[in-house]
Amino acid sequence: MRVNVPALTAIASTIALIGCGGPSTTYAGASIHEYLPLEGDREWEYWQCDPGSDSCTPDAAFETLLVEKNPTTSSAGNDEVITLEYSIAEPTELLYTIDWSSNSRTGIRIHGWSVGAEGEATDPSKPITVSEYKATKEDVFETEADGLTYTSTFLGETECTTHWVPSKPYKCVHFKIEGGNGDEPILGDWYFAQSWGMARHQPVNLTAPWVLACAEYDDDNC
């Protein structure tokens, strides 16, 4: 369910246009699905080191997160579901997996997740909506599944400084996912960069964010 009080003004404007013979349909906001591309072979690397923190120095000790796309896909309605595996790089330890879909029809949705190598998979009774395919700042997307409520809030566009290209911040969209049981791996602040996907993620159970250090697409090594 999408909730957006500011959108009421836009709706009223659209009705006025219709009454004056104007277009009957308008589309506003960012094309959110473009910020989480999942086609092709993809892999990302992140450092648990915030570039804006005094503790994030060249000689600092920090964890490295490797995110890999599982080549096996599935379908849920009209959505192609892609599983991303999130692991500590050295020594290798699978932290969790998240099943994503991202397209111009249904936007960005989460279809399930699991925790740890032997963790039981969680398949909610309906996909968790992170965003519809178009969104404007302060849009709230609420999903009720299995007696739990998940809320994704679009906090707007911002610049993301990364370790990959520190001198050139990326244009990101920022979503905050809350609710559920309070400990799911999907919760927290997500920053997605257009054409590259997750540039930054602040999980609810960590004090420092994962920040992009490298991204690969179809063996185009960074």
Residues 6+ apart with CB under 8 A from 147: none
Domain assignment present for 2: no
Of the pLDDT bands very low, low, confident and very high (cuts 50, 70, 90), residue 10 is very low
Per the structure, the complete domain to which residue 195 belongs is given by 31-217
Decide if 25 contacts 13 (C-beta within 8 A).
Answer: no
Least confident of 14-18, 119-123, 184-188: 14-18
Please write the tens of the pLDDT for every residue from 95-141. 999 999 999 999 999 999 999 988 889 999 999 999 999 999 999 99
SS3 track for 7-58: HHHHHHHHHHHHHCCCCCCCCCCEEHHHHCCCCCCEEEEEECCCCCCCCCCC
Instruction: Examine the pLDDT at 57 and tell me if it is beyond 90.
Output: no
Domain assignment present for 13: no
Domain assignment present for 24: no
15 or 165: which carries more pLDDT confidence? 165
Average pLDDT, the chain: 87
Please write the tens of the pLDDT for every residue from 201-217. 999 999 899 999 999 98
DSSP class of residue 143 equals E
Domain assignment present for 128: yes
Q: Is the dihedral of CA 89, 93, 96, 100 positive or negative?
A: positive
Domain assignment present for 8: no
Domain assignment present for 9: no
Domain total in the chain = 1
Domain assignment present for 212: yes
Instruction: Examine the pLDDT at 78 and tell me if it is beyond 80.
Output: yes
Instruction: Examine the pLDDT at 6 and tell me if it is beyond 80.
Output: no
Instruction: Examine the pLDDT at 26 and tell me if it is beyond 50.
Output: no
Res 14: pLDDT: 39
Neighbours of 112 (CB within 10 A): 19
Residues 6+ apart with CB under 8 A from 141: 1, 2, 3, 129, 130, 131, 132, 135, 151, 152, 153, 154
Domain assignment present for 55: yes
